[in-house]
Amino acid sequence: MAFSSAEKVAVTGTSGLGSSADNSSFFLDSEFRYILFPVAYGIIFILGLIANLYVLFVLRCLRQAKAMGEIRIYMTNLTIADLLFICALPFWIDYYSRHGHWVYADFMCRLTGSLFFINTYCSILFLGAISVNRYWAVTRPLDAASSDHRRRGIIVCVVIWALTIAMAIPFLAFPGTKTDENNVSRCFEGYQNETDWQKRTVAVTHFAIIGMFFVVFFLIVVCNFLIARALLSQGPPQSELRSTVISRKSTMTMSASTKRPRGVKRRALQMLLAVVGVFVFSFLPHHVVQGFWTLAVLQISEGWGHVEWDTKTLQMLNDAHQITLLLMGLNSILDPVVYYFATRRFRGFIMAHMKNMIKGEGCSQTTTSLISMDSKH
């Protein structure tokens, strides 16, 4: 299967695991996950729920201020995807706490597993869209300032949701649970007695999705490299130049304004590092391991996709796969960090809102302050 929570981690007894030559199956497991995952997912659930609900609050207030336009649409949709995954976490916490025993309906297994998949690839695609948007804003600042391009943002979001949901439909349509001989019900785990042709179809699906990830990853790296090059090689944006000209009326004001371009560049470079950092930390390890892990667990008997793995290699691959699943889950609390560095208005609103909260003021006062700040620039 192609997504992280769908862990088919069992192999046949004849796959070089040192078992007898019969056709009994051997379940390859990583015991540490039954302790690590409930704790880690519990922390992700609490922090992710708080952070993403606050992000939605901020984005709603920015909508009232008519700020950010297209990128706000991407942020809102990515936050919704993160919240859908976070809402599914209590089921997975319970699953791992019961040592991998699913006690809920099969539909809930399919739904929560699919939400993991949808969140993963929505996050990848929306972060890609944010990177392209930031590249466009840096290289074409006048065009970016003159229009919010909301229609384009809505179209891109619809395409991303349609694509990821379509990819998840097979996992929603077919049974996800399987009960073993010990009456333990596994959710998207366990070897299924499929033909080599069926296994190769699964393998091709895996590698197609892995390929899609690396295409998007390459796009993000290129966009962010071009943004960094533009920021480091060009002078201050035109809006900054206008501000500098006006500020020449005062020597003190001019001295302060000449420092602003450096701050703008620094914050933009921080955004680049945040986006690329999330990809490298959360998504890259999984997609590097996933291809090898897929071939290992499918155990195609001959021809294309056939590999021979010893017990130690299988265990190492499965352990690494479990760790990469956890890293992908951390994405839901790392996305708000990207938002913070993505735009000045988002960052400015948070800082203004924190100050207003101390004064006992709410969203409307912060929005008014944000509009006032924008009018000064």
pLDDT digits (tens, 9 = 90+) for 95-110: 999 999 999 999 999 9
322 has pLDDT over 90: yes
Count of all residues that appear for the chain in the document:
377
CA nearest to 126, candidates 102, 95, 159: 159
pLDDT at 369 over 90: no
Say yes or no to pLDDT of 234 above 60. Answer: yes
Residue 31: pLDDT band (50, 70, 90) is very high
Q: What is the domain class of 10-14+28-342 according to CATH?
A: mainly alpha
- pLDDT exceeds cutoff 50 at 359: yes
Residues near 212 by Cβ (< 8 Å), separated by ≥ 6?
121
**C-alpha count within 13 angstroms, C-beta hemisphere, residue 51:** 22
Q: What is the mean pLDDT of residues 70-74?
A: 87
Residue 1: which of 165, 118, 161, 170 has the closest Cα? Answer: 170
pLDDT recorded at residue 148? 61
Confidence band for 145, pLDDT divided at 50, 70 and 90: low
Q: Where are the domains of the chain?
A: 10-14+28-342
CA angle 94, 40, 289 (to 5 degrees): 100
Mean pLDDT, range 160-173, rounded to an integer: 91
pLDDT at residue 67 greater than cutoff 80: no
Residue 90 has pLDDT above 90, yes or no: yes
Name 179's bridge partners: 185
Decide the pairing of beta strands 177-179 and 25-27: unpaired
Contact 304, 200 (CB under 8 A): yes
User: In the structure encoding, which two tokens stand for residue 348, read together?
Assistant: 């400015």
pLDDT band per the 50, 70, 90 thresholds, residue 294: confident
